[in-house]
Amino acid sequence: MKRKKLIALLVMGMLCFRNITVLAAESNRLCGRTRVETAIEVSKEFYNKNSDSTGNAILAAAADENLVDSLAVSPLAYKLKAPIFLNDANNSIDEVTLNELKSRNIKNVYISTGEGIISKEAEEELVANGMNVIRLGGATRYETALNILNKYKELGGQATNVCLVSGNGIADALSIAPIAAENSMPIVLAKDSDNVASELKEVVYSAQKVYAVGGESVLSTGLVNDVKGERLAGKNRYATNIEVIKKFYGSSFENIYFANGNNNHLVDSLTASVLVAGSKGPIVLLDNKLNKDTANAINGKVTDNTNMTFLGGEAFVPSITIDNIKNPPEDKPIEKPKDMGQEVVNYAMNYLGTPYVWGGDSPAGFDCSGFAQYVYRHFGVEITRTTYTQVTQGSYVARENLRPGDLVFFTYSGDGEAEHVGMYVGNNSYIHCPQPGDVVRVSTIGYGYMTARRIFN
């Protein structure tokens, strides 16, 4: 019998204040006012499900730019039965994290980054509070991954099967992390698209099975063939996440975890990886909404008995119901008058000179995707918030057929994902908000052009 359960979530912070009705066995939202506090909420859920505490904990850096150091830590954390906490300070331990470590009677803290990120002074603070510190961080992310691997093997971990990810492919690594942890598969890093990091070559080339997670732009066909790997990849991080789910999960989920897949929220997936491992359900990456491809991939596997958990606040990880999964919204071009694209351009021109603000989506300051979203919203059209999924909306349009108002996308790093967006204005030009220190302006389409999408028919 279908059951509706109303969960009143009175969690710290405005982002977590929301009543949600979810048609499932149970729903839960794990979040705090900051990512550090969200990690603590995740750890509490971990302890609820794993009452036999081992006195171990992982301490990772909270900042997005330092997340790469902890790419490979999930299998070790699962082996240690250790939740992953975050530290946002450099020369000290965040008070809320320290208090939680003390309250849990943690004896061993494994720091998964170097002293330049979590300093010796911070380490000494842990020691002063009666904790033993094991530093795993090395001079580079690859050395850190090797240190993590060696500790994992020292504790009896096997490397018969391994997961190969790009040293820059954070989202891909976090999609596979719970599976890697649960199935005792170390996560190893490629130095570039054609080479495994030298520190980690031995374990990759001696493995019986290698899962290569990521597209050809980050793990070349030559490399995947060389390591005799099986590639798991889609056109972007969300599609790759789907391929991982299809490969490793069965016909139904006991649990399902939803997390924001954007770069500035991936840390929640890291801290949850050890919780998700062994839960008989996947972590699903969202871009502020459930897209049709993801819904189709999990449809039929989410039942009235599936427990749903949302990682982060409602603003970043919206509540999802089984009905959303069964009947996802169609991303189709919107029927508007033929001159609507020009109207979009005319409106966008009003904001020439508006400064770039990272994360900005208002006339006080825009980033590239925030600007596009703001302009289209003026015309009653809701597009997603980031380039990663804006590039999937509407319909494809060839460069030679561009019309005013079409979204044009650019890529620069070689990972094959859209990194910048603007609106075509005509004459091989587009209006956009380029980068920090810059303003909304019109530029000529040139280096990095990737594709275009038409939102209006």
Q: Using CA atoms, how far apart are residues 351 and 335, in angstroms rounded to an integer?
A: 25
Q: What is the pLDDT of residue 332?
A: 54
Work out the pLDDT band at 23, boundaries 50, 70, 90. Answer: very low
Mean pLDDT score, 31-59: 90
Q: Using CA atoms, how far apart are residues 279 and 299, in angstroms rounded to an integer?
A: 18
User: What SS3 class is residue 166?
Assistant: strand
Nearest to 57 by CA among 158, 132, 118: 132
Q: What is the pLDDT of residue 26?
A: 67
Site of tokens 């508006």: 354
Residue 333 clears pLDDT 60, i.e. is over it: no
What are 215-224's pLDDT values in tens digits? 888 899 999 9
Domains and CATH numbers, the chain: 28-326 (no CATH), 340-454 (3.90.1720.10)
Nearest to 256 by CA among 300, 206, 307, 316: 307
Q: What is the pLDDT of residue 205?
A: 96
Mean pLDDT score, 181-189: 95
For the whole model, what pTM was predicted?
0.70
Work out the pLDDT band at 320, boundaries 50, 70, 90. Answer: confident
What are 232-281's pLDDT values in tens digits? 999 888 899 999 999 999 888 999 999 988 777 788 889 999 999 989 99
Higher pLDDT, 327 or 241: 241
**Which has the minimum average pLDDT: 314-323, 362-371, 384-393, 440-449?**
314-323
Residue 160 clears pLDDT 50, i.e. is over it: yes
- The chain-wide mean pLDDT, for the chain, equals 87
Which tokens is 124 given? 């000494």
Q: What is the pLDDT of residue 106?
A: 96
Q: What is the pLDDT of residue 9?
A: 29
Residue 3 clears pLDDT 70, i.e. is over it: no
**Which has the minimum average pLDDT: 18-22, 99-103, 317-321?**
18-22
Higher pLDDT, 406 or 322: 406
**Which has the minimum average pLDDT: 102-116, 155-169, 254-268, 417-431?**
254-268
Q: What is the pLDDT of residue 7?
A: 28
Q: Using CA atoms, how far apart are residues 120 and 115, in angstroms rounded to an integer?
A: 6
**% of the chain with per-residue pLDDT over 90:** 61
Q: Using CA atoms, how far apart are residues 190 and 220, in angstroms rounded to an integer?
A: 10
Residue 24 clears pLDDT 60, i.e. is over it: no
**Which has the minimum average pLDDT: 136-145, 260-269, 297-306, 371-380?**
260-269
Residue 17 clears pLDDT 60, i.e. is over it: no
Q: What is the pLDDT of residue 73?
A: 95
Give buried/exposed letters for 254-287 (b at 16+ CB in 10 A, else e). Answer: ebbbbbbbbeebbbbbbbbbbbbbebebbbbbbb
